[in-house]
């Protein structure tokens, strides 16, 4: 990935422009952490990038960025710019391209996100990113008050980076986070949820949650229950305790998991019926809340006689043949009875035994 990125920078420079890797990638490389995507910044405009790269996937010219696929890897390339007249404390109303990296760095959020790498693999550190990375400190590029007022999402980004990197937030920035937390109301739900997801799934989530509480953000984020939430490893278990289904947009799987975790959390998790009805995933999530040992839960689940209706040793067709009947609602009654008998250990999942039981109880 790194070599490909260097070749991409080289290619842009062959057209007479400059380009650097910036943001998360140089930061995580310096910290020897794993990384995902590579962000590139350059003085070439989106239109000029179109001429350089055959495979431009999307263009977000309004914000001066394009996504290109280069040697099968996707890169987000953003033209050096400055932003001004922030609308709603989130989106700049207008952007303007600028000529130099120095100016582009000024519009970025935190010093730790300003380290760059040039086409020769050389680090470019214009405003002391490495020093702050060494000191594990999160500090805004400019004045923290103005920075947060310009874009209140930075409040959550600061906490997200503090949690994921296990860094401290500079005291002055903390003060302004407290003061301007109310501006989060103006930020889109989805942007906020993305950051909260990252905080709730970080290995230092307890620290991230503590910051959200100490910096008085839970009310502004409409998650007051965070204060009494039990801190467990899974992100979805944290969300399940926050009563936030009507506050944020969750995908179908998340919604279903949250609903089921809340339904099952007060039930006896080690019971065969609970394990069968809710499945191992939901029960494991609920176990984080009610303290049931996950290993025990796994063992118990491995031993339940059936995991679904398909495991019953006789099929609905065979039951119809046996009783000489056409399929009908009676099947539901019999199958549900069989499930209960099997889960209660009153019947073995053995075809002969099930046939005898059905004849005895359902043949008229
Ligand atoms: P990640 O590891 O999550 O990708 P990242 O630092 O690369 O972290 P991105 O959201 O990919 O974060 O953004 C890339 C870079 O763009 C950031 O490092 C930062 O320099 C700049 N940036 C992103 N969001 C903002 C913002 N809200 N305000 C100012 N600069 C931002
Ligand atoms: Mg990134």
Give dist(CA 158, CA 346) in Å, integer: 57
Nearest CA, atom 2, ligand 1: 24
For 25, what's the count of Cα atoms within 13 Å in the CB-facing half-sphere?
Answer: 21
Spell out the long-range contacts of 218-225 with Cβ–Cβ below 8 A and sequence spacing 24 or more. 220/181, 220/182, 220/184, 220/185, 221/184, 221/192, 221/196, 222/247, 223/196, 223/247
Ligand found nearest the CA of 22: 1
> 128-160 pLDDT, tens per residue?
999 999 999 999 999 999 999 999 999 999 999
**Residue ranges of the chain with per-residue pLDDT less than 70:** 84-93
**Ligand 1 neighbourhood includes 195 CB (under 6 angstroms):** no
Please report, in angstroms and rounded to a whole number, the separation of the first and last CA atoms in the chain.
71
Query: How many angstroms does the Cα of residue 358 sit away from the middle of ligand 2?
Result: 61
* Proximal ligand: closest to the CA of 160: 1
Q: How far is the CA of 227 from the centre of ligand 2 (A)?
A: 30
Query: Residue 39: CB within 6 Å of ligand 1?
Result: yes
Residue 30, Cα to own-chain centre: how many angstroms?
A: 23
Q: pLDDT digits over 37-81, tens only?
A: 899 999 999 989 999 998 888 777 777 889 999 998 999 999 999
Copy the structure tokens of residue 114.
Answer: 């300003």
Please tell me the predicted confidence (pLDDT) of residue 86: 59
Ligand 1 pocket test, pick from 1, 5, 20, 24 with the greatest ligand atom count within 8 Å of Cβ, gives 24
Tokens of 99: 């000529």
Nearest CA among 222, 199, 229 for reference residue 211: 199
> What is the rounded CA–CA span in Å between residue 91 and residue 45?
20
pTM of the model: 0.89
Residue 192: the pLDDT is 97
pLDDT of residue 62: 72
What domains sit in the chain, N to C, each tagged with a CATH number? 1-134 (3.30.460.10), 136-250 (1.10.110.30), 254-303 (no CATH), 309-362 (1.10.246.80)
| Ligand 1 proximity of 151 Cβ (cutoff 6 Å) | yes
Please tell me the predicted confidence (pLDDT) of residue 323: 95
Query: Is any atom of ligand 1 closer than 6 Å to the C-beta of 113?
Result: yes
Here the tokens at position 81 are 């710019």
């Amino acid at each position: 990935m790194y070599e490909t990125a260097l070749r991409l920078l080289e290619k842009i420079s062959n057209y007479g422009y400059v380009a650097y890797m910036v943001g998360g990638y140089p930061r995580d490389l310096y910290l020897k952490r794993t990384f995902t995507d590579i962000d590139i910044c350059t003085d070439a405009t989106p239109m000029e990038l179109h001429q350089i790269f055959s495979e431009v996937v999307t263009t977000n010219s309004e914000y001066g960025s394009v996504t290109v696929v280069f040697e099968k890897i996707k890169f987000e390339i953003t033209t050096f710019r400055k932003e001004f007249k922030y609308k709603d404390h989130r989106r700049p109303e207008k952007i303007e391209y600028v000529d130099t990296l120095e100016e582009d760095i000024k519009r970025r959020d935190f010093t730790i996100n300003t380290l760059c790498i040039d086409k020769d693999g050389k680090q470019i550190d214009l405003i002391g990113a490495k020093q702050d990375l060494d000191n594990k400190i999160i500090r805004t590029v400019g004045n923290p008050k103005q920075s947060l007022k310009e874009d209140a999402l930075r409040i959550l980004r600061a906490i997200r980076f503090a949690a994921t990197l296990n860094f401290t937030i500079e005291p002055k920035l903390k003060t302004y986070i407290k003061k301007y937390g109310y501006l989060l109301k103006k930020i889109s739900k989805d942007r906020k949820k993305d950051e909260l997801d990252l905080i709730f799934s970080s290995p230092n989530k307890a620290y991230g949650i503590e910051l959200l509480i100490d910096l008085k953000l839970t009310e502004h984020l409409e998650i007051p229950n965070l204060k009494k939430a039990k801190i467990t490893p899974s992100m979805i278990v944290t969300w399940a305790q926050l009563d936030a289904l009507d506050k944020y947009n969750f995908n179908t799987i998340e919604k279903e998991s949250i609903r089921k975790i809340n339904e099952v959390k007060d039930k006896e998790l080690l019971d065969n019926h609970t394990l069968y009805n809710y499945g191992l995933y939901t029960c494991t999530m609920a176990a984080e809340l009610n303290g049931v040992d996950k290993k025990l839960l796994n063992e118990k689940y491995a031993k339940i006689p059936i995991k679904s209706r398909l495991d019953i040793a006789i099929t609905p067709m065979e039951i119809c043949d046996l009783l000489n009947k056409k399929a009908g609602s009676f099947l539901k009654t019999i199958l549900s009875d069989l499930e209960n008998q099997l889960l209660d250990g009153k019947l073995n999942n053995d075809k002969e035994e099930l046939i005898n039981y059905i004849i005895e109880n359902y043949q008229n």
